[in-house]
């Protein structure tokens, strides 16, 4: 792990922790909050916990492998191993195919349930964004390879 | 594609773990290559061939369908 990467994990774990504590303080300070102030503290707690947990985990992993260079090398080999990378990409590809089908089915279901237009439009935008990203990378990689 | 990796490795008297460490791949990758479940990238094929001081086609046998 590079020094900058280590500093980044430290910074983000601090930011995550502050968000979490800030969220808790907001919940306690404004029990009768309305509108967005009702959601904001819980959003802070949720995001803060996630950011703090992930970055702390990376820091602990760094501390563990620092003591054991052989384990660090093995982790690096496992991460870069071409078969492992191929397996991960194949699994991701299958999940993507399934996700587009699930998205389409959900979109159809919401439309048939006469859901609010903004829900259907949000779903459509998300679906098109994903399909658009796929098309973008297809073109990009065709040019590169 | 078939290969003679297991046979060649055993001829050289090295374990899967040792070959994996030299090639910087996982032991499972060596196992999968030997079983024919996984075909290596051209880079890995070169690394294997160089390690055994052989040609790629002496280790990996291409078979047309």
For B12-60, the pLDDT digits (tens) are 999 999 999 999 999 999 999 999 999 999 999 999 999 999 999 999 9
Q: Are residues A68 and A123 in the same domain?
A: no
Instruction: Check CB contact of B41 with chain A, cutoff 8 Å.
Output: yes
Model pLDDT, residue B6:
96
Residues A44 and A94 in one domain: no
What residue of A is the nearest CA neighbor of B29?
Answer: A83
Same domain, yes or no: A93 and A127: yes
Tell me the average pLDDT across A85-106: 94
pLDDT at B63 over 70: yes
Higher pLDDT, A2 or A87: A87
Over chain A, what is the mean pLDDT? 90
Of B25, B41, B43, which has the smallest distance from its Cβ to A77's Cβ?
Answer: B25
Please determine, for residue A89, whether its predicted confidence score (pLDDT) is greater than 80: yes
The predicted-structure confidence for A110-126, as pLDDT tens digits, reads as follows 989 988 999 899 989 99
Give mean pLDDT, residues A136-144: 96
User: How many domains, chain A?
Assistant: 2
pLDDT greater than 80 at residue B4: yes
pLDDT surpasses 80 at B3: yes
- Based on the domain organization, do A63 and A91 belong to the same domain? no
Which of A52, A80, A108 marks a domain boundary?
Answer: A80
Residue A31 has pLDDT above 80, yes or no: no
Are the CB atoms for B26 and B20 separated by under 8 Å?
A: yes
Mark whether A41 and A76 lie in a shared domain: yes
**Residue in chain A nearest B28 by alpha carbon:** A83
Three-class DSSP labels, chain B: CEECHHHHHHHCCCCHHHHHHHHCCCHHHHHHHHHCCCCCCHHHHHHHHHHHCCCHHHHEECCCC
Q: In this structure, are residues B59 and B49 in contact, taking their beta carbons and an 8 Å threshold?
A: yes
The pLDDT of residue A95 is 97
Nearest CA in chain A to B24: A77
Token pair 């098109």 is found at A128
Q: Is A13 exposed, middle or buried (0-12, 13-18, 19+ CB in 10 A)?
A: buried
For residue A36, pLDDT beyond 90: no
Whether residues A83 and B24 touch (CB distance < 8 A) is answered with no
Residue A1: predicted pLDDT: 59
Query: Which of A27, A50, A80 is the last residue before a domain boundary?
Result: A80
Structural domain that includes position A115:
82-145
For B1-33, letters b (16+ CB in 10 Å) and e give: eebebeebbeeeebebeebbbebebbbbbbebb
A48, burial (CB in 10 Å: exposed 0-12, middle 13-18, buried 19+): buried
| C-beta separation of B64 from B18 below 8 A | no
Q: Are residues A89 and A59 part of one domain? A: no
């Amino acid at each position: 792990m590079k020094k900058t990467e280590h500093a980044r994990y430290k910074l983000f774990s601090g930011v995550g922790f502050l968000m979490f504590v800030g969220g808790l303080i907001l919940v306690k300070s404004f029990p009768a909050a309305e509108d967005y102030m009702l959601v904001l503290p819980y959003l802070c707690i949720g995001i803060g916990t996630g950011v703090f947990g992930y970055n702390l985990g990376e820091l602990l992993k760094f501390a563990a492998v620092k003591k054991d260079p052989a384990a660090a090398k093995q982790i690096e080999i496992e991460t870069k191993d071409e078969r492992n990378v191929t397996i991960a990409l194949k699994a991701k590809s299958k999940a993507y195919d399934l996700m587009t089908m699930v998205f389409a089915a959900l979109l159809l279901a919401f439309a048939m349930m006469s859901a609010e237009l903004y829900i259907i439009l949000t779903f459509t935008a998300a679906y098109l964004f994903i399909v658009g990203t796929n098309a973008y990378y297809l073109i990009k990689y065709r040019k590169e390879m | 594609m078939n290969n003679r990796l297991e046979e060649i490795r055993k001829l050289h008297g090295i374990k899967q773990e040792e070959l994996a460490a030299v090639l910087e791949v996982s032991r499972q990758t060596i196992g999968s290559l030997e079983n024919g479940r996984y075909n290596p990238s051209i880079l890995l094929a070169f690394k294997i061939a160089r390690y055994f001081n052989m040609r790629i086609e002496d280790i990996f046998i291409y078979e047309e369908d």
